[in-house]
Amino acid sequence: MLATQLIPAGALAATYSAELEGAYDWAYANGVTTMSPIDNANMYGAISRAEMAKMLSVYAEEVLGMSPDAARACNFTDINSVKGDLHDFIIESCRLGIMGQGITEFRPYATLSRAEFGTALSRVLWGDTYEGGTPYYANHLNALKAAGIMNQIANAEQTKEVRGYVMLMLQRSAENGAATNVDCDDPLVKLACATDSKECPAACRADDKEDTVVRAGDLYVTATAATDRKAIVT
């Protein structure tokens, strides 16, 4: 089911499943979204490539403890007009090796597809392990599905990614320990976790390891203008 079809036209307000509310709470607590309350977070809205650069950069650095490579060349011809902190996060995402690799036009305001999001998230979790597929995103999305992070991978180029589902899949990847870029045995990581510092990556927290829950089931949403309950698989 395409993301543009998830919420019926004319819906005035949406309600959220416990799973999606949990994803929002997790995203807000980790700085992936700064919008509060949940109704202001545009959970069912599409997301631009520039916005995704910010969300994934925050996730990579604040949750997984990744560091950007300042020496990486990240020069784009179409981002000078990008306002606020999104400009800097575009560069940050490139230096993290997440987005904008080997291109000169970032297309900051283009709507993000599931293919693009899955590719970028895979790079956050596993680096270049799944590069080289045909099409380019195939190996990335198959790996995410195998890990229980992304369920629906058909028609990925035509499916517009949804902000709330991004939060849900980031939460899943953090809580099931999918990221191999995090070294939980690193002395500085151990110290951060021992002192309950916010610098302790989610994948390395003792309570997360003991109580891991992979949320791979169906996600149900309803809208006030809808008459039927819609089952949505992310």
pTM of the model: 0.73
190 by DSSP, 3-state: which? helix
168-185 average pLDDT score: 80
pLDDT per position as a tens digit, 77-97: 999 999 899 999 999 999 999
The answer, yes or no, to whether residue 215 has pLDDT greater than 90, is: no
Q: Give the Cβ contact number of residue 230 at 10 Å.
A: 15
Residue 213, C-beta contacts closer than 8 angstroms, at least 6 positions apart: 175
How many independent structural domains does the chain possess? 1
**Structure tokens, 107:** 């297309």
What per-residue confidence (pLDDT) applies to 9? 37
Assess whether pLDDT exceeds 90 at residue 35. Answer: yes
Q: Which domain holds residue 166?
A: 3-232
> Tokens in use for 95?
């230096």
Q: Which two tokens stand for residue 130?
A: 């799944």
Q: What is the pLDDT of residue 2?
A: 43
Using pLDDT thresholds of 50, 70 and 90, give the confidence band for residue 205: low
CA distance 4 to 46: 8
CA angle 164, 233, 97 (to 5 degrees): 55
- The structure tokens 């994948």 sit at 203
Per the model's pLDDT, the better-predicted residue between 216 and 125 turns out to be 125
Task: Round to whole Å and give the CA distance between 103 and 97.
Answer: 12
- Expressed in angstroms, the distance from the first to the final Cα of the chain is 10
